[in-house]
Structure 1
Amino acid sequence: MARRGEALREHILDTAKVAFLETGFERTSMDAIALRAATSKRSLYAHFPTKDALFLAVVARTRALFAERMGTPADYADEPMEAAVRYCGRFVQMLRWSSVGKMARLGIAEADRLPDLAAGIFDVLFGVTTNNLAAHLESGTGLATDKAEAVANQLIGLAVHPVLPRLLFGVDPLTDEAPDRARLASDVDLDRIRRLVHLSVPAAT
């Protein structure tokens, strides 16, 4: 049965995301996306009048899906500090997934020519995560808003180093298997992140 309406739109977005990750924004044509999505160019342009519009929609969809997979720190533990630990660990776990890691690489690759699109990808990954962590630290530990934001940024930076640069430069391989929260403790060094959290949060209070 042919896809129509919203189902077709979501199919195009999922197809376009794969294409952009494989060949980059510049080298991915609307013709190629229409072919891969098994739809007509007319249908593609009816939903997305330009490639920029399509890419922005891909970023928006990715943001929603990423936020859903990350959840909020409160989803991970009842105790606020441990919830922060596991939330940071989940972020590290997500970065190792090829779908996320390649999106980060794409943002860097397109930063010079398409800074707004690159900034959108940055916001998908780091904006969502840091804002959620800051809100959690403010409500769960009593940090003032500005302190919570500063600590959240610090913790995210410490938690992802050196994992993120090693992934971005291909020193460590990305994984094609979607990250499972049930494997968080075995996939990520939570003790290391726990030390970082317990050192950083009291210093800011």
Structure 2
Amino acid sequence: MEQIVVTKRGRWKRGHWSQRVLSLCPILGVAALSHKAQTDEHDRKCLHVTSMQMWPRYNEAHIREDATSMEAKLTLRVKGMAVLLGERVVTRADGPQVVYRYTQRDASEDQRAWMLRFSTFADLEKAVRLFQAFRPLSHPKTLTGTSPSPAQTSKEEAAVAFALENADTPAAACAEGRNDGDPLDDELVMAGVMSSSVVEGDVESDLASIRSQWEQFHHTGLALA
């Protein structure tokens, strides 16, 4: 997974922001947050993204800052289903051990929304580009708590799983495993059940507007609050 340091708005205290590590993997459609000192936490709880809004698309009521501030413009609202990531290890007689990753619904909560703030425009744009590669679930109700059996796994899924396990980097794993044309099992939420985009609005226009204002802000030598 690609990782970016962000700050997250408190769930109950909207004026409180705390540092987190945001991990993103388009092939799984998954975003994860963890404390900076515990980056393995994303293996236990994460979000299956259904929509992402950047400034000025999200409702300004979600933040306390001035909606025209640079802080507001470097903020994203990410919504989705709380899920857990699971793994199933399969050893094939004619090949190497393969690790299949799948998502399970988190019984503690179905829907969740995160307000995420970035420290630079470059980090914001990197995240937006990764979210552009996400696709919303066509059949979210098919996420179950049952791990897939080897019999449920097609040759295409094996290729995806092998790429995830054996690529040199997390980014390469996402790139190698991506194949929008392959039919995938509903419980292996990787690409086949995805459609359209999770990013709302005119991405290029919104990014251009934020970039222009970031350059002006950065030129003045001001610092984010």
Return the structure number with greater strand share. Answer: 2
Q: Which has the higher helix share?
A: 1
TM over 0.5: no
- TM-score, with normalisation over the residues of structure 1? 0.29
TM-score (norm: length of structure 2) = 0.27
